[in-house]
Structure 1
Amino acid sequence: MPDIKGEQIVKYIRQIKAPNKKNTSSIPVRMNIILGVILVLFAMLVGQLAYLQIAYGGRFEAEVQKSDQKIVSTNVPRGVMYDSKGRILVGNQPNNAITYTKGISVSTSKIKEISDALSQYIDLSDEDPTKRDLADYYLGDPKNLAKMTNRVPRSKRYNADGDAEANSVVYPLIVEEVEQQNIKFTKRQKTAAMIFKKISGAYQLSTIYLKNKDLTDDELAKVGEHLDSLPGVGIGTDWSRSYPNGNSMRSIIGSVSSEKAGLPEDNLSYYLTQGYSRNDRVGTSYLEKEYESILKGSKTLSQVEVSANNEVEDNKVTYAGAKGSSLTLTIDSKYQKMAEDTLTRVYRQAQSDGTTQYSDGAYAVAMNSQTGAILAIAGVKHNPKTNKTVDDALGVINRSFVMGSVVKGATVAGGLLSGTITPANNTLPDTPIYLPATPVKKSVYPVGTFGSLTAPSALEVSSNIYMMQLTLRWVKANYVPNKYIAMPSTAFETLRKNFAQFGLGQKTGIDLPGEVGGITGRSFDENGNVLTGSVLDLSYGNYDAYTVIQLGQYVSTIANGGYKMKPYLVKTIGENANDGKTNYVYARTNPKPQSSIPWSESQYNVIKQGFYNVVHGSNGWGTAHSLADIKPEIAAKTGTAQSFYYDPDNPGNVTPPETITLSFVGYAPANKPEIAVAVVFPNLASGNTQHYNLDVARDLFTNYFKLYK
């Protein structure tokens, strides 16, 4: 029995194992099939690669080695500025230069390699690298970088999770390690460090100047011999501004940014949208800025070939560009120099006389009264703290002063235009104004000197009383001496609207940036009541503040018969011929009247006669009779304003020192005006009896007619 059971068990086990054996044996078969397919596909791939290598290998290799072509732009010389007689005021000085056109993704080690090589041929010892510049250069070598990186503690290179810190965190620590080593750099290495800095800061496919000043012939020759081993380096020409007349008019001409400074940050987006590069030079002030789009020209375009390893291989000019257009100004440089010399000389005399303790300086402008063209513009800015003076011709358009009696011609005009007075009836009592709890408001001469005055006589003796009496009637004020005065709320508006007809208190629109409109005094007190006494002060020029260019426009309006002409400095825009002298004009500034005074000829003659009497009248109180000998004859109006010196370092001073401001406006010839002049000496010592304003005016007129008549 036992044997039978054992046979049955074995038989049963065999029956169970049989199907499993069958299933197991099928796995290797399927694996073999899959492996076979893979082998076949791999063999096909190898065959295809072999075919491509044999049939197209040369073509693919050429594609890999083929250079990419890019377009790079470079700047051209800026436009020249000429004076009205064709003399160069601002030119361009060509300078030989070593350039570098940066490739795409140039490695730091490659930059160092180029810097080291180039430092053997040029010297930049006039430029001092900083400690950071030297450290950056030193770390441009991968071996040095690795060595110094290892000096930084691991705890500072990796965070708590073991992740590497950002390069912006670690690199400054590496730089510190370099600086602590006090490595001694040779003169050549310092030059290499400066080159390294300049190249590192350049943008991809931009051309920069590595050396553009004091480049010697020897340096130029050596670099030229080794250009093949200096990828991206080239020889070119840079242009810098030159000023044949020295500092004359520099504050009007303005300045141009350096390549290092590049585009101004405050207008960066604007310039970039106009096609500028970040390191382009642009006009940053005054005429250079105002006419930037004209002066800049169109850039040179070059086709740059970049190799497979991102190095610049070749640089070919495809468009030579066009230099900037030139500007011809309305100013004659000879007359301008005379005006500057006169203003400086007279102001020095004022300093010598001890009258400039609180003075702001002195300013003057001469204009063509018929067209608005600026003939000369000069300024001296004085610092009362240091007693130093600097050129400040721009103060003519951006500094405001209370000018005094020079504006009385506009007051008389307002009285005539409003019908308050007429050419046939313009006599008013010369009676001072008495207001409650207020000092008497009168003229400079003693009370009672005149019982009454006509308008021309009032201008001749510069009567404050006449202007106040006229204003009371003009604005229809209710006045009882020593009791009260009442004026309509529109009194200030009436006077200021009249002054604005002549350009007083408004921007003239001159073609220079930075002009201001003047300073307007308060019209109402804290309770909303009109400041009646200040209305009277405004009538004779002792309240609102104006610029000197506004005075020039005002007196020109009177001189030419009533046309408020827009002042301008640029006469023509043109293109220089190859001889550098001929100027092809394609734009010309035409005289532009901004408005006109609606007076009749008889009304105008009242003011004209008054201005003539100021110089040529017979009244002993005439204010400019000392100028009567000038030929041809001039007509004018002087001014003396009460002013105060406000110390910017002591704004809380409730009793600032009292000063006076001397001013002058005039034109010549008196019968047929062609030149108008405005002068101001603000904040001179109170009690000054000198006539610095007249001294400057005399020279401005006499020098003009010496030059042109």
Structure 2
Amino acid sequence: MDYFRKNSGTGSNKQAATPIRMRIILGIIFVLFALLIGQLAYLQLAYGSRFKSEVARNDSKVVSSQVPRGVMYDAKGRVLVGNKANNAITYTKGASTSTSQIYKISNALSNYITLNDEKPTEEQLAEYYLADQANSTRIEAQLPAAQKNSDVLTSAEINQNMIAQVKRDKIKFTAKQKVAALIFNKISGAYTLSTIYIKNRDLSDHELAQVGEHLSELPGVGIGTDWERSYPNGASIKSIIGSVSTEKSGLPSEDLQSYLMQGYSRNDRVGTSYLEKEYESLLKGTKSTSQVLTKSDGKIQQTKTVYKGQAGASLVLTIDAKYQKQVQSTLKRVYSSAIGAGAARYSNGAYAIAMNPKTGALLAVAGINRNPKTNKTYDNALGVINQSFVMGSVVKGATVSGGLINKVITPTNNTLPDTAIYLPGSPVKKSVYPIGTFGSLDAPTALEVSSNIYMMHLAMKWVHASYVPKRYIAMPDNSFQILRNNFNMFGLGQRTGVDLPGEVSGIEGRTFNSQGHILSGSLLDLAYGNYDAYTPIQLVQYVSTIANGGYRLQPYIVQSVGRTSNNGKKIYINYTKKPNIQQRIPWTHDELNVVRQGFWRVVHGTNGWGTAHKLKGVKPSISGKTGTAQTFYYDPDHPNRKNPPELINATFVGYAPSNNAKLAVAVVFPGLDPDMEGSYTLQVAKAMVQDYFKLHK
């Protein structure tokens, strides 16, 4: 009995203890809730208004917008490239714009505008289609489980599977839906609080009015102005001016990081070639800035202009648009006649350049590039700085000059034998005229008749070569460097420093053979212009140096930089380019006159082997030098072709008037038939001189 009583007492105690513990726990919970409610009440009473203002607070951010690029004028103040203002439909993306909102705006806007010059891709159509939640749900349901398993695949991979399914379904889209897809793609790719152009070309008055009437229904959409490049004097000048990227292409990938570090946006339009690229920092101007106020939900409440920006600087070029057109037209006409005659069957182009020899200002830059297989041609004016050719006898003025400066010959003692050069194991090295035509020649006559033999004898004497006809020739290892240093002094074989990107220095031939022996025969070829390759702009710099008395001037194409007035009628100049002398040729007056006399006789001489007598009657008088150099046709489709056609590069350099030069020219016709050379370079040079002085009487 006692046992049962004890057990019975123990159970009763446990039952009594349980309610006590529950009451303690409930009491603690009550106290905690009371403290929490008290804290909330305190915060509501003490800081309620502050929290309310935080919720309603607007965010303010500064965004920037494009301004018109700088205008380019020719030397006479004519607009070469300007800006055409276009009405535009814009969109500024809010801070928290959702995909469904973009979808809704795109559909609404497609009711009012068309985008006829653009077509959406399959990818863009699929992304637009999936932006509708109902469409997205239906497409996802069609996918096999393995293609939508979020435990294995990322959301991007699942989305790609859904896009692929949309493509497989071959859904038919209406014209309006295709426009909406394009708009959706543009808006989706925009950065937060950035303004993009939905349509900035061919916007009709009706479209503008329709969008304007419904702006309240189109959050973020606005009406603005965009700019595009215009060419009032023809687009052929673009081969010098260059191009500007579109908003769609944005910053060039190869310079992306550099531009981003300078504060550009990825969709900014920048110069991508030639002057547009070289002077990008000046032409871009200073962007306008606006303060954008957004609500707490990310929607844009207000946009206020802080700084209206500054249009890009204006450039005044050295080129006269009218003269430029004449030179380009002449080059095309004469080159076409060469093609028609069969002389330019394998030729890949032609080039002409004019420069003021007293300042270095480029007056005209013209070029043609041609595909010999298709006979298609296009303007390539900048070929004058990035195409190299073996130029032939036009460089003989530099060879004679070097001989005089280094006292190898003198103004009173410059006669050398005109006997052909016979190297062991090589064909005879001679001039165009028959061997034995001249026993000896002085320097001016050698230039007049374009004697290769004279230049080779001069080079051998200059480098102290040892020579026994048909048996032996030896010369120092630095012989090439001696001649090349002399050519470099005139700008041949090195960049001129012209203010255009992409200039090349030319091509140097090999100095030594595989056994390490100097290529003596090639050095003799170098002496008369048949070895190293130069650019047309190097030729015009070289002949200008002779024309102006020995000052090698840096060529340039931008004369001055300024600002165009708001009405576009006046240019305020801030900077003007001054001539830059790169080197003074250490001539004496008499030494210079030897070369000038030779260049005068090339045109005005009486020797029957003179090479440019056809220019004798041109007014004002021309002095100059012709050239031909042997070359071969290179077929890119058959690079190892045996016995390729033998061709010549025909060239001319000159200046006028002969006694006080104001114009220097260089003309290059590469790849002509040697039996049909004609006088194509002389025809172009003659027109360049006559046209220039008619415009500048």
Equivalent residue letter for 1:335: Y
Determine if the alignment matches structure 1 residue 38 to structure 2 residue 29. Answer: yes
Partner of 2:433: 445
Partner of 1:399: 387
Partner of 2:347: 359
Partner of 2:363: 375
Partner of 1:134: 125
Query: Of 73, 83, 89, which residue of structure 1 is paired with 2:74?
Result: 83
C-alpha deviation, 1:12, in angstroms? 6.2
Distance in 2 of aligned mates of 1:255 and 1:444: 45
Partner of 1:239: 227
- Map 1:154-553 onto structure 2 (within 5 A): 154-158=145-149, 163=151, 165-553=153-541
Equivalent residue letter for 1:239: W
Q: Report SS of the residue matched to 2:235.
A: coil
C-alpha deviation, 1:182, in angstroms? 2.8
Equivalent residue letter for 2:195: T
Determine if the alignment matches structure 1 residue 102 to structure 2 residue 102. Answer: no
- Map 1:14-93 onto structure 2 (within 5 A): 17=9, 25=16, 28-50=19-41, 52-53=43-44, 57=48, 60-93=51-84
Equivalent residue letter for 1:430: D
C-alpha deviation, 1:179, in angstroms? 2.4
C-alpha deviation, 1:122, in angstroms? 1.3
Kindly indicate whether the alpha-carbon contact (under 8 Å) linking 1:231 and 1:313 is maintained by their aligned counterparts in 2: no
Q: Report SS of the residue matched to 1:249.
A: helix
Distance in 1 of aligned mates of 2:116 and 2:421: 74
Distance in 2 of aligned mates of 1:384 and 1:239: 39
C-alpha deviation, 1:24, in angstroms? 6.8
* 1:231-263 CA-partner distances (Å, limit 9, x unpaired): 111111000000112222211100000000001
Identity value in percent: 60
Distance in 2 of aligned mates of 1:486 and 1:278: 61
Determine if the alignment matches structure 1 residue 596 to structure 2 residue 584. Answer: yes
Q: 1:325 to 1:357 in 2, by over 3 A?
A: same
C-alpha deviation, 1:306, in angstroms? 2.1
Length-normalised TM-score, structure 2: 0.97
* 1:508-532 CA-partner distances (Å, limit 9, x unpaired): 1111111111111111111011111
Equivalent residue letter for 2:137: A
Distance in 1 of aligned mates of 2:154 and 2:4: 73
Equivalent residue letter for 1:442: K
Kindly indicate whether the alpha-carbon contact (under 8 Å) linking 1:668 and 1:675 is maintained by their aligned counterparts in 2: yes
- Map 1:630-649 onto structure 2 (within 5 A): 630-649=618-637
Kindly indicate whether the alpha-carbon contact (under 8 Å) linking 2:243 and 2:276 is maintained by their aligned counterparts in 1: yes
Equivalent residue letter for 1:80: V
C-alpha deviation, 1:313, in angstroms? 2.8
C-alpha deviation, 1:40, in angstroms? 3.2
C-alpha deviation, 1:448, in angstroms? 1.5
Partner of 1:125: 116
201-210 or 256-265, larger mean C-alpha shift: 201-210
Kindly indicate whether the alpha-carbon contact (under 8 Å) linking 1:518 and 1:545 is maintained by their aligned counterparts in 2: yes
633-642 or 220-229, larger mean C-alpha shift: 220-229
Equivalent residue letter for 2:84: Q
C-alpha deviation, 1:53, in angstroms? 4.7
Distance in 1 of aligned mates of 2:571 and 2:455: 51
* 1:184-229 CA-partner distances (Å, limit 9, x unpaired): 2222211111111111111122111001111111211221222222
Partner of 1:111: 102
Kindly indicate whether the alpha-carbon contact (under 8 Å) linking 1:125 and 1:187 is maintained by their aligned counterparts in 2: no
Distance in 1 of aligned mates of 2:166 and 2:478: 74
Give structure 2 stretches of 5+ with no counterpart: none
Equivalent residue letter for 1:128: K
Kindly indicate whether the alpha-carbon contact (under 8 Å) linking 1:72 and 1:206 is maintained by their aligned counterparts in 2: yes
C-alpha deviation, 1:95, in angstroms? 0.3
Determine if the alignment matches structure 1 residue 147 to structure 2 residue 138. Answer: yes
C-alpha deviation, 1:83, in angstroms? 0.3
* 1:101-146 CA-partner distances (Å, limit 9, x unpaired): 1122421111101111111121223322122222111111111111
Equivalent residue letter for 2:219: P
Distance in 2 of aligned mates of 1:647 and 1:608: 40
Distance in 1 of aligned mates of 2:196 and 2:169: 32
Aligned residue-pair number: 697
Q: Report SS of the residue matched to 1:440.
A: coil
Equivalent residue letter for 1:33: I
Equivalent residue letter for 1:110: Q
Distance in 2 of aligned mates of 1:308 and 1:141: 26
Distance in 1 of aligned mates of 2:512 and 2:311: 56
C-alpha deviation, 1:629, in angstroms? 1.1
Q: Report SS of the residue matched to 2:543.
A: helix
Distance in 2 of aligned mates of 1:257 and 1:10: 101
Kindly indicate whether the alpha-carbon contact (under 8 Å) linking 1:408 and 1:539 is maintained by their aligned counterparts in 2: yes
Distance in 1 of aligned mates of 2:168 and 2:611: 75
Superposed CA RMSD in Å reads: 1.7
Distance in 2 of aligned mates of 1:509 and 1:404: 23
Equivalent residue letter for 1:185: F
Give structure 1 stretches of 5+ with no counterpart: 1-5
* 1:613-656 CA-partner distances (Å, limit 9, x unpaired): 11111212111111111122111111111211111111112422
561-570 or 617-626, larger mean C-alpha shift: 617-626
Distance in 1 of aligned mates of 2:328 and 2:394: 22
C-alpha deviation, 1:497, in angstroms? 0.6
Q: Report SS of the residue matched to 1:91.
A: strand
Q: 1:175 to 1:13 in 2, by over 3 A?
A: closer
Equivalent residue letter for 1:115: S
Partner of 1:571: 559
C-alpha deviation, 1:669, in angstroms? 1.1
C-alpha deviation, 1:581, in angstroms? 2.1
Distance in 2 of aligned mates of 1:129 and 1:535: 61
112-121 or 405-414, larger mean C-alpha shift: 112-121
Equivalent residue letter for 1:232: G
C-alpha deviation, 1:89, in angstroms? 0.3
Q: Report SS of the residue matched to 2:236.
A: coil
C-alpha deviation, 1:49, in angstroms? 3.3
Kindly indicate whether the alpha-carbon contact (under 8 Å) linking 1:355 and 1:688 is maintained by their aligned counterparts in 2: yes
Q: 1:269 to 1:313 in 2, by over 3 A?
A: same
C-alpha deviation, 1:67, in angstroms? 2.5
461-470 or 314-323, larger mean C-alpha shift: 314-323
C-alpha deviation, 1:502, in angstroms? 0.2
C-alpha deviation, 1:11, in angstroms? 6.8
C-alpha deviation, 1:59, in angstroms? 5.1
C-alpha deviation, 1:694, in angstroms? 0.3
Distance in 1 of aligned mates of 2:272 and 2:677: 42
Equivalent residue letter for 2:696: Y
Equivalent residue letter for 2:142: R
Q: Report SS of the residue matched to 1:699.
A: helix
Partner of 1:3: none
Distance in 1 of aligned mates of 2:255 and 2:308: 28
Distance in 2 of aligned mates of 1:528 and 1:619: 43
C-alpha deviation, 1:76, in angstroms? 0.5
Length-normalised TM-score, structure 1: 0.95
Distance in 1 of aligned mates of 2:545 and 2:371: 33
581-590 or 490-499, larger mean C-alpha shift: 581-590
C-alpha deviation, 1:692, in angstroms? 0.3
Kindly indicate whether the alpha-carbon contact (under 8 Å) linking 1:575 and 1:583 is maintained by their aligned counterparts in 2: yes
Distance in 1 of aligned mates of 2:602 and 2:674: 23
Runs of 4 or more off by more than 3 Å in structure 1? 9-14, 20-31, 47-62
Kindly indicate whether the alpha-carbon contact (under 8 Å) linking 2:343 and 2:677 is maintained by their aligned counterparts in 1: no
Partner of 1:703: 691
